[in-house]
Structure 1
């Protein structure tokens, strides 16, 4: 757990002071950032519950193409270019897509209907359609690593919620996570219905995404939850989370989030460090990963996360 050099007296006051400083910095949100969220887009496609993955993929590819045209017509060439990159030559597999505002997208890599190992990536702050390629790159790296050992696997890049900005008041509270948890829970139920019986699902939760995962009720299909680059979860212990899954935690030595105070005061902050032994999570090796590096190809952190997905993960220092 991160320890603050506070001297022998009043450590609580220093922690509150540091947290207040984070709040003060977070309140300074440029007006231009809010304005950039107002992006024209066609209506998101709605599906009947019986719609198959293939039907959803086809409809969302059409919706994505239409979003490109609307963005171009509105003079938003940068957004149009980024949406065009998401289309990936007409073969992208989006279970959901919404081009409004910062946008939402749920993309599948692999065959969800046959995969018996499925990783669901839940991103943290500042993940939008405009930064989606960075998120997608991590999903692709993980899928390549999984397929090398277990071809019958799939990865889902789940940008299914409005992520908070790194410099915003919302990133210090559970508000966005509370809303996202219901969406993620519904998606996990849907994914379980699409796949074969007995498929093993794993939640991989980065940064603020770990707050989302910690508030999501999971069914028996989810066997493991891995928290990495986490500011905390809002819970004091892993056994308080609404899941029966094994909970893992890791943080790279190059991750700046280690300096965030692990406190909770007046509804701000997320409390216990998931790496604190008192939290009770299994620890996995994350090497020298920086905050945005956990899923980069060839890293120790990617290897550890892949093994958790495959069910062969081991705790740090135990083989």
Structure 2
């Protein structure tokens, strides 16, 4: 057994080093290609309450519409299209900032009356330029919740793009720095949601890929019911209890997810930490492992999938065995 383990560990280290070398070469080049898109500063909002939600939504839609016009004038049709979609009538934006890679918090459903709320925390390469796929995932979950929720149980999903996500092929993707920056923002956002929805609402965090690192950093004392790790490279701790939260900790990974091959190690170097520790799917970590089906890294919210059904059950709190019908 020891003889087999040694080569496997060495292969993982070689893969990790190859990723770092590739990132060191590719990222500076790709970052230099894309010019910054002009956008207005975020709308000035007063204190958010259930009574002021509609005014906040309207102000953020107007801000997104202005951002769309500025992006179009700049010649960035892709960004302009995303901003226009977010500015559409009926869009519910708790937050919007079109500057740089962009940030937003889009609500699907009636947040003021929802009793089951899921917050999606995205992983790498998620920005306003790639927002359509993030919105699609949130919309798929919202439809599944509405289909499965008991009669009279309103639900909502929030697509929280609240931090500058790292590029998949980048040094930032294998270090916790972006997660450390994002964690205070996520904690503040969860407090806001608790204020808006009340203490009796089931609030779940669904954390995909690098987003699970963010959730791990934000977890201590976080007032959520469930914390779900999807395709996680690790959380920065070796055991679920070290996250120091009363939330139920879940972990799922599709059978074809390449994250299974990522070295689940944490190495402390002078001035940097590389990797995120133990695989949350292992027995030693201690999460509730659920059936995520046979999909790949981008398939967790695929309509009709085993994983989407599992996630809906977790958010609704309808079963302990999230992978079974």
Cα deviation digits, residues 210-268 of structure 1 (max 9, x gap): 00001114657411111011111111000011311010000011111111111111310
2:106 touches 2:159 (CA, 8 Å); kept in 1? Answer: yes
Q: Please tell me whether the aligned partners of residues 220 and 243 of structure 2 are also in contact (alpha carbons under 8 angstroms).
A: no
CA distance in 2, matches of 1:8, 1:166: 27
Give the Cα–Cα distance (whole angstroms) in 1 for the partners of residues 80 and 298 of structure 2. 25
Give yes or no for the alignment of 1:303 onto 2:309.
yes
Match of 1:206 among 205, 208, 213: 208
CA distance in 2, matches of 1:223, 1:126: 27
Residue in structure 2 matching 1:314, options 310, 320, 325 = 320
Structural mapping, 1:35-74, within 5 Å? 35-36=33-34, 38-50=36-48, 52-74=52-74
1:191 equivalent to 2:212? Answer no
Using the alignment, how far apart are the partners of 2:44 and 2:177 within structure 1?
A: 25
- The count of residues paired between Structure 1 and Structure 2 equals 315
1:10-159 aligned at under 5 Å gives the runs: 13-27=10-24, 28-29=26-27, 31-36=29-34, 38-50=36-48, 52-87=52-87, 89-150=88-149, 151-159=153-161
Please tell me whether the aligned partners of residues 306 and 323 of structure 2 are also in contact (alpha carbons under 8 angstroms): no
Deviation of 1:35 after TM superposition, in Å, equals 4.2
**Within 2, Cα distance between the matches of 1:214 and 1:137?**
24
Separation in 1 of the partners of 2:61 and 2:125?
Answer: 24
Cα pair distance change 1:220/1:231, threshold 3 Å: closer
Change (3 A) 1:9 1:250: closer
Partner of 1:239: 241
| Residue equivalent to 1:273 | 279
For residues 122 and 213 of structure 2, what CA distance do their matches in structure 1 show? 10
The answer (yes or no) to whether the contact 2:179–2:213 under 8 Å persists in 1 is yes
- Conservation of the 8 A alpha-carbon contact between 2:12 and 2:262: no
Structure 2 vs 1, CA of residues 261 and 194 (structure 1 numbering), >3 Å: closer, same or farther?
same
The separation in 1 between residues aligned to 2:122 and 2:86, in whole angstroms, is 17
Displacement of 1:26: 1.8
Q: Distance in 1 between matches of 2:167 and 2:29?
A: 13
Once the two structures are superposed, what CA deviation does each residue of 1:120-156 show, in whole Å capped at 9, x if it has no partner?
0000000000110100011111111111132501000
- Asked whether the 8 Å contact 1:115–1:196 carries over to 2, the reply is no
2-structure distance, mates of 1:166, 1:76: 23
Question: For the Cα contact (< 8 Å) 2:96–2:103, is it kept in 1?
Answer: yes
Aligned-residue offset at 1:312: 2.0
Given that 1:206 and 1:229 are in contact with CA atoms closer than 8 Å, whether structure 2 keeps it comes out as: yes
Q: Secondary structure at the match of 1:203?
A: strand
TM-score (norm 2): 0.91
Does the Cα contact within 8 Å between 1:284 and 1:314 map onto a contact in 2? no
| Partner residue of 1:294 out of 275, 285, 300 | 300
What is the CA RMSD across the aligned residues, in angstroms?
2.1
What TM-score comes out, normalization by structure 1 length? 0.93
| CA contact 2:187–2:222 (8 Å) conserved in 1 | no
Structure 2 residues not aligned, in runs of 5+: none
Unaligned runs of 5+ in 1: none
Structure 1 runs (4+) greater than 6 angstroms displaced: 316-319
